[in-house]
Structures are given as structure tokens and as C-alpha cells.
Amino acid sequence: MRGAPLSLLGGRIGGGAVKDYIVTYCKPRAQPTKYGNINIKNVTQLTLRTILFIITILEGSSTLHVARKSYMHYELECLEPTLFNWRKGVLVNMK
């Protein structure tokens, strides 16, 4: 396990603004909901839309068609994995 425990409630440190996510990943002229969330149906890439939908299901949201800013941030972290240099640590311990 790496990083802080996963929490889908409340805010998420870092990431872009909702409007930035909408401009980058959604259809042209898409707007946030009245509560400042992202309509999943407006996301252009099927992969991103699927991951957002799965995150809303796992969170237990009653509005499965809407994603929060934190969901979008988690999704983008999933698509850009961190690579670790396991070889160096293992070699030190083996010696």
C-alpha cells in the first residue's frame, strides 16, 4: 500500500478545477451541474467514462450519472501509475 488511505468523501488535495476537467475531458459546451459536479455522459473517452461510473458505484452514490471533482482526480491517478524501482531495494537486502 502506498499513500494515504482512500477516501471518496469530502475534498481531495490537488487536482484541477471542475471547469478545467470539463474543458479537457468533456464534450464542447458542457457545463457543470448546479452543485458543481461533472455529468459523466459528457465525458468523451469511453475509458474515462467507465472508470468514473465504477467509482460512483463503489462510493455508493445515489446519483450515478454525476461525478465529483475528487472522482475525476482519482480516475486520472489510476491512468498514470507510479513506477517503483524494486530492484535497488531488493538487491540491498539480498547482499
Q: Within a domain: residue 8?
A: no
Q: Within a domain: residue 2?
A: no
Q: Are 24 and 42 in contact (CB under 8 A)?
A: no
Q: Within a domain: residue 7?
A: no
Which of 16, 60, 56, 65 has its CA nearest to residue 38?
65
Q: Within a domain: residue 31?
A: yes
Q: Are 67 and 51 in contact (CB under 8 A)?
A: no
Tens of pLDDT, residue by residue over 6-50, are 555 655 555 678 888 889 899 999 999 888 889 999 999 998 899
> One-letter amino acid identity for 57?
I
Q: Within a domain: residue 84?
A: yes
Total of domains in the chain: 1
Q: Residue 48, Cβ neighbours under 10 Å: how many?
A: 20
Instruction: Please give the residue range of the domain that contains residue 68.
Output: 18-94
Tens of pLDDT, residue by residue over 57-74, are 888 877 888 888 888 888
